[in-house]
Amino acid sequence: MTRASAVRVGLIFPELLGTYGDRGNAVVLVERCRRRGIEAELVEVPAGDPIPDSLDVYLFGGGEDDPQVMAAAGMRASRAAIEGAHRSGAVVFAVCAGFQLIGHSYEAGDGERLDGLGLVDLATSAGPHRLIGEVVVEPDPSLELPVLTGFENHGGRTTLGPDERPLGRVRTGGGNGVGGVDGVLRERIVGTYLHGPVLPRNPALADRMLGWVLGADLPTLEDGLVERLRAERLEDARATGWRARRRDLHLNRG
């Protein structure tokens, strides 16, 4: 596969949106290109810098409350650049706080509202407790992907607008915390609550997004280690899900 220029994978504000190792998503995208002979580079956009309109992939990771506020301001200031790049074919991938920030707003428990990018129609509010643990998601059929695994740790409850569709249905875990779904899926936009990081745990999702950038399906990479990791995480998540259901059943019975 030939390309006139390198695939530019943008890691946006890693000092603010990098709490849970989401940098690994950028590393995986670059490495999976290189293993196929496709030139790629990781472009870090430090907090305080304007976000350029020249990236092929925009990665927004997870972050705590105060860093999320600072990241939101920077994202809003560069909204035109991000929207323009997306219209020109770029991919947006947002995890946890990043996922919340590509929507309209986040409302904290004290009622304070944080405005987001408004790239997709969704809103988030603080929930009564944190959602923590392994997650298994059945992805939207249009993606033609195996089940997704990840780890969540968030207090938000995200509601999608009526015309938005989720990344997938939750089999185990909380996901958006509303409607039994996780994330959001739109043309060349993926949002999710899955950490792990999620792309090392789900390389087929990484390849799907790279395919959107390159305009073609990518040749398969054989990697037994990744498959063993996926099997281990799926087994653990399913066991965790069963233990949680058994606990809830016991509590409901008094």
Q: Take residue 11 and report the two structure tokens written for it.
A: 């890691």
pLDDT score, position 67: 92
What is the domain extent for residue 36?
A: 7-253
pLDDT score, position 253: 46
* Catalytic (active site) residue 195: yes
pLDDT score, position 164: 98
DSSP annotation string for 184-227: EEETTEEEE--BS-HHHH-HHHHHHHHHHHHTSPPPP---HHHH
CB 25 within 8 A of CB 58: no
* Catalytic (active site) residue 86: no
User: Do the domain assignments include residue 248?
Assistant: yes
User: Do the domain assignments include residue 66?
Assistant: yes
Query: What is the number of structural domains in the chain?
Result: 1
Other beta carbons within 10 Å of 202: 26
248 has a pLDDT exceeding 80 = no
- Give the whole-angstrom CA distance, residue 126 versus residue 158: 9
Other beta carbons within 10 Å of 9: 27
pLDDT digits (tens, 9 = 90+) for 169-222: 999 999 999 999 999 999 999 999 999 999 999 999 999 999 999 999 899 898
pLDDT digits (tens, 9 = 90+) for 125-173: 999 999 999 999 999 999 999 999 999 999 999 999 999 999 999 999 9
pLDDT score, position 4: 74
* Helix residue spans in 35-94 (DSSP H): 65-77, 79-87
pLDDT digits (tens, 9 = 90+) for 88-116: 999 999 999 999 999 999 998 788 899 99
Angle at 136 between CA 162 and CA 227, to 5 degrees: 130
pLDDT score, position 13: 98
User: Do the domain assignments include residue 153?
Assistant: yes
Report which residue type is found at 20: Y
**Domain at 94, CATH number:** 3.40.50.880
User: Do the domain assignments include residue 190?
Assistant: yes
Could you say which of 86, 104, 154, 195 is catalytic?
195
Could you say which of 86, 96, 104, 154 is catalytic?
96
User: Do the domain assignments include residue 1?
Assistant: no
CB 70 within 8 A of CB 104: no
pTM for the whole structure: 0.91
250 has a pLDDT exceeding 50 = no
User: Do the domain assignments include residue 2?
Assistant: no
pLDDT score, position 241: 55
CB 42 within 8 A of CB 175: no
CB within 8 Å of 5: residues ≥ 6 apart: 39
User: Do the domain assignments include residue 88?
Assistant: yes
